[in-house]
Every structure is written in C-alpha cells, then in structure tokens.
C-alpha cells in the first residue's frame, strides 16, 4: 500500500548528463572539447622520465596477454537491454596496440597497462581451460568438465555475460553448464549470472551447482546498501564515468577497462566453501580451495586445479598493486593478512605451472609464478611494515605517504605497480586500520567545516583576487621547474585553490585555474583511479555536477531495504515506489558495485 505521507525522497543521477558549454579561461585554445587543457612542459618531462624508471623493453606481458587467442570481435559493442551502450571496446582504439606511443598527457606506464587491457577475446589457457577477457572489468573463465562447462565469475552485467557466453559457444561448441563459481563478493564477479542462466535449459538450471565462499550472500549485499549513494557518487570519479575515452580523458581503470553499467543479477549458492584445503569434485574436475576472506574482498576464495596444475588467484593477486583502501569508499582491508594469504598460496599451490585470475592475463611457468607471488606478497608486507614503523615514530598519514616508496627490488616489475592502488593511499589505509583518522594533533579535533575554514583562509590571504594572481604566477612558473618541484607545486596549488573554490563557489576564474591544475596532476598519475579522480574533478569544475532525479518510496519499504528483506527485484515491481527518469536510474542506484549514482558536490561546496 502506497503511503504518500510517509514517502522518503532520495536523489538519483540521471543517466542523460547535460553538457554545458566550456567556460572560457586561460589557454582555452589549447583545451579539447571537454575543456581539458594541454600538458605543460613540466608534465611532459615528468612522463618522459617515467620511461627511464621501468623496463619498457620487456615485452613478456604482451606475449602472455596475446597467448592462446582463439577469436576476437574487433567491433565489440554491447547494448543495454533497455537501450544505450553497456560496453564499447572500440572506444579505446586510440591506444596503440603495443603501448609504446604514450602522449604527453598520459603516464607511459599507465598507457602500457591500458594497451595490455585492450587485448580482448576468447583465449585458450591450457587444455580444458579458457578465458573470455575484455568483455567487462573482470574475466570469465571456462573449465571443461566431464559432461559440460564450469564457469568462473560471470562478469558484472547480464548483457556482457550473455555476449561473452555466446561468443564462447560460437567458437568452442555448445555444451551444458554444470557449475558456476563466484570467487568473491564483488558484483563484477557475479552480477552477470542471469545473462548465463537465461541460455540454460530447465534441466541444466535444476542441476546447476553454484559454488561460493562462506559469507558470500551477506557480504555481496551489505556494504553497498548502507553507504551506496555516497560510494557510487565517488565511483563516478574513480571510474571516469563522465570522461571522454581519449588521451586527455579515461584510458582504463588499471584493473581492466571499466565496469559494465548494465543489468545486474544474483543467484544463491548451492555450495559454500568455508575452509582452506577444502576439496570438491565438480563435474569430474578436482578442485582445492583456499579461503582468503578479508583480503581484497570480505568473502573470497582462490582455487587450484591439480590436473592442469593451474592456480586461480581470484583477486588475491592481479597484474597491478591493488587497493588496501578503495577510493570509492569501503572498509579498509588488512595488508598484513593479505600478504599472509599470498604467502600461503605460494606454498599451498607451489606445483602450479599456470596462474590465471579474475582480472588481467595468465602467467605460465612454475618459477615465474613463484616470483610473481613473492613480489606481490612482499609489496603488501612492505607497505604494511614500513607504515607501522613510521607511524610508531610519530609520522602522520600524509608524511608517511610522501616518504614511502617501493625499494629497488620491488620497483622493477610492472605487475605490482600502482595502476589501481598506490603506495601513497595504501599507506594511509594501513595507518587508518590501526589508528583511524586522528593523528593526535589537537588542531584536528574540532576544525571548522571546509567552506567556513576556506573563507577565513582566503580573507587572511588578502582576498580571492590576490590569491588567484599569486596562484596563476606559480602555475606558469611550474612549467619550467624540475619535475619534482613542478609536481609538488601542482599539489600545493590544488590545496590552495580548493580553499578559494570552497570560499567562493561562484568564482569561475578559481574553478578554471583549479581545473587546469587537476589536468596536470591527472596526466602525470600512474594510477588510473587517481587520473580519473583528477580529470573528473576538472570536468565538474568546468561543467558542474550531474543532474538530479527523484526516487520516492515508502518508509516501510525503505526499512525492508536497509535490513535486507527487500532487494532490487522487489523495488522494481513494488507499488510502494515511484521515480522520475529512466528505470536504469533505479537499477543503477541500487546496484551493488561502483555504478555512479547519488547526487552531491565533491569539488565544490
């Protein structure tokens, strides 16, 4: 029963984002259609110097990423069930296939990773083991059983999972599906399951095994219900949802190209794995499991295929440094525990000749895999131990993040670099894990809100015009500085100009100059989320925040949502809800991954 007097109003993002004209500002002639300005000389030199910091002549990753290619769809565009695009791989064709021609506006190490993540299609990993890569943020793996297929991680959305599944059938033949494995509780590894189920016969569905780690269902639905609007608004920044796919915009996420914004689903598990060493035989295929819950996800397992000597690392390890704290917002992860799980896997599955995972490309050779796991393990352990050391010497999170760099022995491989997580924000996460947000400086106990503090700072500095004059001089001077001094100047200008924007939200000159600063910081970032945060910040300073839609639901239904008695399905068919705008808004708003929704300002008050 609809009770209008008890209706709650929640903000939604409209899927259609209105673009305003780019405000005119300094150097606007050098800006592209989205307003992003040209890289400065300092930025170009910083990115050039990155070429000397990594072994770019090592092409092993490209050979491994292309190995076993069976088929590829060069026109891979996937439409949403209700219209619009869910996935568009050709949008990334501006990235050269060898990752060697990075423009000055992209960190060349990130450009290389983006080129590797462009390699998509159906791949044979070994006899009886295949992967579909580049159809979503995650991979879908296919294991041949005695009578059919075992699917691992059916992607984020029904649309992408369906397309990937049918592509595999086209090239491998049509076989029944006997089991589906959800390696962990993030939606890019289970949200597309309905796109698989719709292609199965009634008999297949009746006998289908769905295998997941203990706690999967609770963890898959809990975190994003409570903090969903805030997390998904922040995810718009993290994944560059509003950015153009070009050399001054979004190039990928580091972990893949990006999440598919489609139709999300769920299916309950029939088998739950609760302990390391558990063994199952699935359609004649023996599997050994390792529980790694509390590392990358709160409910997660890895597994080993003894017959193929193949280790599926799920998301315990991937071809980048992962997030101890994710910038979209979530509970901090335990770096020490994470490192210990990698060490356990290194020993438990020491016979592995093949590594494959939920993201990126496989690795072959026992020695290569052992070295890979050792570096991954030591990276998280180093960040943990050195943060704790500095923390216990009284260093603050910002001081630790500024001091800490990987030692030479951990800084030559590509697979542990900060394409997704970074040493900087992961060190802050370790500090937060042990000590929280407070550094014990009493000035932090009861500070003024950002806007009020900003107004007083700007007034103390002689007013906005005076600050902007000095800031513009510093910005121009930064172009001729050393790369370190130039980067530090951009970092400082971001902090300074943020005060002006928060003090005077209508000051277009301040917003335009801050946007130019964010452009440079984004272009220099090796981390894809850092790049997208900076460039989305610049975009919103120039064009404003997304438009608002309205969702109306009754208080009883809202309570049912919070306690888990109602989910997306109930919401879609309930008489106790109404909304203005596309039904996609509603689906996105209640999605369990980082689909951008909610409405509040971030780069302006």
The DSSP string of 178-244 is: EEEE--BSSGGGTTTHHHHHTTS-HHHHHT-EEEEETTHHHHHHHHHHHHHHHHHHHHHHHTTTTS-
Single out the residue in 384, 411, 438 at which a domain terminates. 384
Alpha-carbon gap, residue 405 to 554, rounded angstroms = 51
- Are 529 and 496 contained in the same domain? yes
Q: Are residues 525 and 380 in the same domain?
A: no
Tell whether 250 and 239 lie within a shared domain: yes
Interatomic CA distance for residues 157 and 172, integer angstroms: 22
The pLDDT assigned to 463 comes to 98
517 and 557 assigned to the same domain:
no
Neighbour count for residue 547 (Cβ, 10 Å): 14
Round to whole Å and give the CA distance between 232 and 588: 9
Percent pLDDT > 70 in the chain is 86
Contact status, residue 400 vs residue 355, Cβ threshold 8 Å = no
One domain for residues 40 and 117: no
Residue (of 113, 115, 110, 155) closest to 135 by Cα position: 155
Question: What CA–CA distance (Å, rounded) separates 403 from 262?
Answer: 41
pLDDT at 568: 54
Statement: residue 550 has pLDDT above 80: no
The whole-number pLDDT of residue 559 equals 62
Number of separate domains in the chain: 3
Across the chain, which distance is largest between two alpha carbons, in Å?
77
* Torsion angles phi and psi, residue 184, rounded to 5: -165, 180
Note the pLDDT of residue 436: 97
Buried residues in 280-305 as b, exposed as e (16+ CB within 10 A):
bebbebebbbbbbbebbbbbbbbbbb
Q: Is residue 320 within 8 Å of 417, Cβ to Cβ?
A: yes
What was the pLDDT predicted at 21? 31
- Banded model confidence at residue 204, pLDDT cuts 50, 70, 90: very high
Instruction: Give 563's pLDDT tier (boundaries 50, 70, 90).
Output: low
Whether 469 and 322 map to the same domain: the answer is no
Side-chain half-sphere CA neighbours of 188 within 13 A: 22
- Average pLDDT of span 352-380: 99
> Residue 143 forms beta bridges with which residues?
129, 150
pLDDT of residue 403: 97
Q: Is 149 within the bounds of a domain? A: yes
Looking at residue 555, its pLDDT comes to 64
For residue 29, pLDDT over 70 is answered with: no
- Element at 493 (helix H, strand E): helix 483-503
* In a domain? residue 134: yes
In this structure, are 329 and 463 located in the same domain?
no
In this prediction, residue 345 carries a pLDDT of: 99
Give the strand pairing for 577-579 and 548-554: antiparallel
Query: CA angle 233-319-372, nearest 5°?
Result: 145
pLDDT exceeds cutoff 50 at 591: no
Please check whether residue 355 is in contact with residue 302, taking contact to mean a CB–CB distance below 8 angstroms. Answer: no
pLDDT at 601: 81
Indicate whether 485 pLDDT > 60. yes
- Beta bridge partners, 271, equal 211
pLDDT exceeds 60 at position 3 = no
Which residue among 384, 409, 436 closes a domain? Answer: 384
Of the two residues 280 and 54, the one the predictor is more confident about is 280
User: Would you state the pLDDT for residue 221?
Assistant: 79
pLDDT band at residue 222, thresholds of 50, 70 and 90? confident
Query: Is it the case that residue 584 has pLDDT exceeding 80?
Result: no
Query: Range with the lowest mean pLDDT among 131-135, 136-140, 406-410, 601-605?
Result: 601-605
CB 173 within 8 A of CB 144: no
- Residues 118 and 251 grouped into a single domain: yes
Asked if 162 and 129 touch (Cβ cutoff 8 Å), the reply is: no
562/309: higher pLDDT: 309
What is the pLDDT averaged over residues 206-232? Answer: 88
Give the model's pLDDT for residue 427.
Answer: 99
SS3 state of residue 126:
strand
- Do both 283 and 309 map to the same domain? yes
Once rounded to an integer, what is the mean pLDDT over residues 134-154? 98
pLDDT at 548: 52
Return mean pLDDT, the chain: 90
Q: Read off the pLDDT of each residue in 137-151 and give the average, rounded to a whole number.
A: 98
Whether 264 contacts 187, CB under 8 Å: yes
**Neighbour-count burial of 69, counting CB atoms closer than 10 A to its CB (0-12 exposed, 13-18 middle, 19+ buried):** middle
Is residue 252 left, alpha or beta, with left meaning phi > 0 and alpha meaning psi from -120 to 50?
left
Under 8 Å between Cβ of 182 and 210: yes
372-403 pLDDT per residue, tens? 999 999 999 999 999 999 999 999 999 999 99
Q: What is the pLDDT of residue 560?
A: 67
Domain CATH code at residue 315: 3.60.15.30
pLDDT band at 489 (very low <50, low <70, confident <90, very high): very high
pLDDT single digits (tens) 49-100: 999 999 999 999 999 999 999 999 999 999 998 778 999 999 999 999 999 9
Query: Which residues span the domain enclosing 582?
Result: 4-17+546-589
- Choose among 283, 232, 225, 141: nearest CA to 559: 225
Whether residue 348 sits in one domain with residue 199: yes
State whether 234 and 264 are in the same domain. yes
Tell me the C-alpha distance between 58 and 115, whole Å.
14
For every residue of 276-328, DSSP letters joined together read: TT-EEEETTEEEEEEE-TTSSSSSBEEEEETTTTEEE-TTTS-SS---SS-TT
How far is 48 from 35, CA to CA, in rounded Å? 24
Q: What is the CATH number of the domain that holds 459?
A: 1.25.40.880
Cα–Cα distance, 539 to 552 (Å, whole number): 30
Q: How many CA atoms lie within 13 A of 585 on its CB side?
A: 22
Q: Is 114 a residue whose pLDDT tops 70?
A: yes
Q: Give me the numbers of helices (H) and strands (E) for the chain, helices first please.
A: 19, 19
Strand partners, 578: 552
Task: Using DSSP, state whether 540 is helix, strand or coil.
Answer: helix
Is residue 132 classed as helix, strand or coil in its secondary structure?
A: strand
Residues 574 and 497 both lie in one domain: no
Q: What is the pLDDT of residues 492-520, one digit of tens each?
A: 999 999 999 999 999 999 999 999 999 99
């Amino acid at each position: 029963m609809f009770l209008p007097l008890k209706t709650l109003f929640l903000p939604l993002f409209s899927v259609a984002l209105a673009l305003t004209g780019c405000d005119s500002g300094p150097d606007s002639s050098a800006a592209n259609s989205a307003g992003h300005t040209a890289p400065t000389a300092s930025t170009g030199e910083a990115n050039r110097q990155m070429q000397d910091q990594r072994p770019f002549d090592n092409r092993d990753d490209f050979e491994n990423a292309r190995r076993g290619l069976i088929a590829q769809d060069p026109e891979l565009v996937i439409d949403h069930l209700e219209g619009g695009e869910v996935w568009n791989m050709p949008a990334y064709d501006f990235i050269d296939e060898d990752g060697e021609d990075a423009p000055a506006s992209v960190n060349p190490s990130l450009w290389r990773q983006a080129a590797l993540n462009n390699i998509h299609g159906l791949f044979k990993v070994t006899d009886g083991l295949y992967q579909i890569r580049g159809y979503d943020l995650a991979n879908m793996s296919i294991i041949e059983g005695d009578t059919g297929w075992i699917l691992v991680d059916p992607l984020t959305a029904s649309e992408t999972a369906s397309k990937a599944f049918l592509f595999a059938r086209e090239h491998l033949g049509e076989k029944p599906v006997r089991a589906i494995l959800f390696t962990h509780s993030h939606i890019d590894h289970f949200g597309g399951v309905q796109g698989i189920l719709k292609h199965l016969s009634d008999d297949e569905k009746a006998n289908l095994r769905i295998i997941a780690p203990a706690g999967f269902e609770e963890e898959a639905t809990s975190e994003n219900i409570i903090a969903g609007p805030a997390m998904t608004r922040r995810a718009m920044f993290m994944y560059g949802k509003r950015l153009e796919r070009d050399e001054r915009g979004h190039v990928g996420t580091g972990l893949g190209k990006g999440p598919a914004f489609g139709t999300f689903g769920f299916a309950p598990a029939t088998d739950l794995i609760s302990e390391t060493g558990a063994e199952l035989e699935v359609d004649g295929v023996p599997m050994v499991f390792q529980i790694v819950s509390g590392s990358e996800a709160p409910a997660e397992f890895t597994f080993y295929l003894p017959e193929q000597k193949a280790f599926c690392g799920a998301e315990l390890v991937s071809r980048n440094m992962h997030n101890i704290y994710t910038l979209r917002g979530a509970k901090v992860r335990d770096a020490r525990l994470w490192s210990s799980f990698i060490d356990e896997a290194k020993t438990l599955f020491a016979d592995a000749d093949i590594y494959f995972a939920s993201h990126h490309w496989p690795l072959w050779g026992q020695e290569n895999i052992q070295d890979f796991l050792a570096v991954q393990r030591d990276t998280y352990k180093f960040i943990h131990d050195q943060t704790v050391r500095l923390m216990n010497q009284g260093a603050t999170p910002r001081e630790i993040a500024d001091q800490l760099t990987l030692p030479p022995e951990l800084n030559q491989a590509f697979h542990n670099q900060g394409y997704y997580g970074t040493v900087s924000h992961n060190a802050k996460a370790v500090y937060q894990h042990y000590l929280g947000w407070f550094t014990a400086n009493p000035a932090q106990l009861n500070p003024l809100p950002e806007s009020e503090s900003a107004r007083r700072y700007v007034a103390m500095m002689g007013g906005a015009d005076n600050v902007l004059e000095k800031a513009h001089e510093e910005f121009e001077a930064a172009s001729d500085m050393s790369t370190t001094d130039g980067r530090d100047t951009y970092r400082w200008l971001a902090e300074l100009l943020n005060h002006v924007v928060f003090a005077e939200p209508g000051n277009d000159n301040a917003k335009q100059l801050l946007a130019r600063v964010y452009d440079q910081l984004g272009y220099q970032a090796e981390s894809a989320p850092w790049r997208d945060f900076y460039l989305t910040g610049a975009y919103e300073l120039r064009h404003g925040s997304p438009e608002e839609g309205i969702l109306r639901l009754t208080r009883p239904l809202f309570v049912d949502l919070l306690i888990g008695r109602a989910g997306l399905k109930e919401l879609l068919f309930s008489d106790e809800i109404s909304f203005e705008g596309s039904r996609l808004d509603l689906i996105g708003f209640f999605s369990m991954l980082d689909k951008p929704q909610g409405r509040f300002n971030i780069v302006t008050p």
